[in-house]
Amino acid sequence: MKQRTPDEIRAMADRMRRNAMELAFQAGANGAHLGPALSIIDLCATLYGAVMRVDPKNPAWPDRDRFLLSKGHGSLGYYTALAEAGILTREQLFSFEADGGDLPGQPAMNPSLGIEVSSGSLGLGLSFGVGCALAGRRAGRDSNVYVLMGDGETNEGSVWEAALAAAHYRLGCLVAIVDCNGMQSDGRTSVVMSAGQMPLWRGFGWSTVAVDGHDIRAIYAALRDAGRRPEGTPLAVIARTVKGKGVSFMENNAEWHHNVLTRSRYEAALAELIAASMSR
């Protein structure tokens, strides 16, 4: 897939935010997890726009890089990236939350659409990533595996079992990206279960790097050399983000972890996103 410039990735992220807003409004009374989706959009845009090796014409290509959205409630950030990458058509994208459709609120495994794993039950994505990395090694592939999880999700003990396994098996192709927006459904992560991400990952034998999760150039710089490093050490990218990024009344507002958009709120959010993209 053609690598995009930082400006092109920024434009891609702008479109993803607008599409996410339209999809959430379309979902109606079902609502949508807009806050956790908006915080990961710049990360997903950089991965699909410049970092990952994927083939839009053959999403299940065996030698592809794998992306696993462990925090499945951020699906609108994922689906809109798949559409920007040319893997999903616009018609498929706008089947979000449709009865019997392929794009439910939490992703359902469908490699033909670029969806590698069913997610929603938190704490499982990194374990799946370890399995993908081990399977790739056994098959002699040089594919990378990227697992995007929430900071609240790292409260789960299964995350750290997987982290130990990744370091033990020297899975240098494995990258964990932690969306540190500081909030989870029950409140601020610092209150629910405080954890220092950098020392934790280092203590489990991982290399670590901290990054502004909304700075495209910084994200790219952190990820571009995150493939199979000679020492075989997995990498944890600690991305500092803002829940609800891009919409002022959603930013750092726990009400928008999952909520329903009224028409007036939808129009206000869309106007704000359009104005921001035009001002760049």
pLDDT in tens, 88-133: 999 999 999 998 889 999 999 999 999 999 998 898 999 999 999 9
pLDDT value of residue 114? 96
C-alpha span between 118 and 277 (Å, rounded): 32
Q: Cα–chain-centroid distance for residue 210? A: 16
Tokens of 181: 């927006």
For the stretch 80-119, what's the b/e string if a residue is b when 16 or more beta carbons lie within 10 angstroms of its beta carbon? bbbbbbbbbeeebbbbbbeeeebbbbebbeeeebbbbbeb
Q: Which token pair is 81? A: 């990236």
pLDDT, residue 41, reads: 98
pLDDT class of 77 with cuts at 50, 70, 90: very high
Cα separation, 211 vs 213, in Å, equals 6
What are the pLDDT digits (tens) for 4-44?
999 999 999 999 999 999 999 999 988 899 999 999 999 99
Given a contact cutoff of 8 angstroms between Cβ atoms, the answer to whether 50 and 42 are in contact is no
pLDDT in tens, 165-214: 999 999 999 999 999 987 777 767 766 677 678 788 999 999 999 999 99
Q: Domains, the chain, ranges and CATH?
A: 6-278 (3.40.50.970)
pLDDT for 227 beyond 60: no
